Amino acid sequence: RGGIGLAFITYPTAIAEMPFAASFFGVIFFMALLTFGIDSAFSMVESITNGIKDKFGISRKKANFIVCSAGFLLGLVLVTGGGIYWVDIMDHFMANIALVIVGLLECLTFAYVLGGEKIRRYANEVSEIHIGRWFSIMLKLFAPVVLVGIAVASVVELMTEGYEDFPAWSIVAGMLIVGASVIASIVMARLPCRQEQS
């Protein structure tokens, strides 16, 4: 079992069956998991907060309040009886499909909108390591083809085999989550930045 089940079912079961000091190792394991979770939350909140702060010209304090409040409200569904299933669905769809689609959009934006050659020249000006012409080829051709292949393979696998033992509606819910995150990324990228109001 992988994903959410690995952290919350498999490892705790293995620790509980240890011949000695199971309680000690259980506390250590869950303290480490809590630390990793808090660390991940900092990086997620910070990236979203910076985007909101820059795009809407509000203070960091207000942006943090908005992001943390929205995260709290959206996270309430994750602490219900079926919360572990929602976490599993979001984890799977965000990691296997949304991340690939956003990566593809970034490659296409850098290669065709901003200009791969311009980015390569700038990187060579400000870095000690120089990038060859292969960078533009990878950005324009290779990376998009690979990312499209991964996304198509993931969607085809979901449509033909389903998602683990989950009902069909979980695929629809997962795709809606993917669509919402991709649309939010595009909308935020298109919004102009504003000066912070003092």
pLDDT tens across the length of the chain (198 residues): 566 778 888 888 899 999 888 899 999 999 999 999 999 989 989 999 999 999 999 999 999 999 999 999 999 999 999 888 898 899 889 988 999 999 999 999 999 998 888 989 999 999 998 898 898 889 999 999 999 999 999 999 998 998 888 898 999 999 999 999 999 988 988 888 886 654
Question: Which residue has 């290779």 as its token pair?
Answer: 142
Is residue 7 within 8 Å of residue 40, measured between CB atoms? no
DSSP class per residue in 12-30 = HHHHHT-SS-HHHHHHHHH
Enter the tokens of residue 159: 């449509």
Question: Which residue has 């599993």 as its token pair?
Answer: 88
Question: Which residue has 């995260």 as its token pair?
Answer: 71
Q: Cα–Cα distance between 185 and 179 in angstroms, integer?
A: 10
3-state secondary structure labels for all residues of the chain: CCCHHHHHHHHHHHHHCCCCCHHHHHHHHHHHHHHHHHHHHHHHHHHHHHHHHHHHCCCHHHHHHHHHHHHHHHHHHHHCCCHHHHHHHHHHHHHHHHHHHHHHHHHHHHHHHHHHHHHHHHHHHHCCCCCCCHHHHHHHHHHHHHHHHHHHHHHHHHHHHCCCCCCHHHHHHHHHHHHHHHHHHHHHHHCCCCCCCC
Is residue 147 within 8 Å of residue 110, measured between CB atoms? no
pTM above 0.85, yes or no: no
Per-residue CA distances from 146 to 70, 95, 96, 104, 140 (Å) = 34, 16, 13, 9, 11
Is residue 186 within 8 Å of residue 105, measured between CB atoms? yes
Task: Kindly give the interhelix angle for 168-190 and 99-108, rounded to the nearest 10 degrees.
Answer: 30
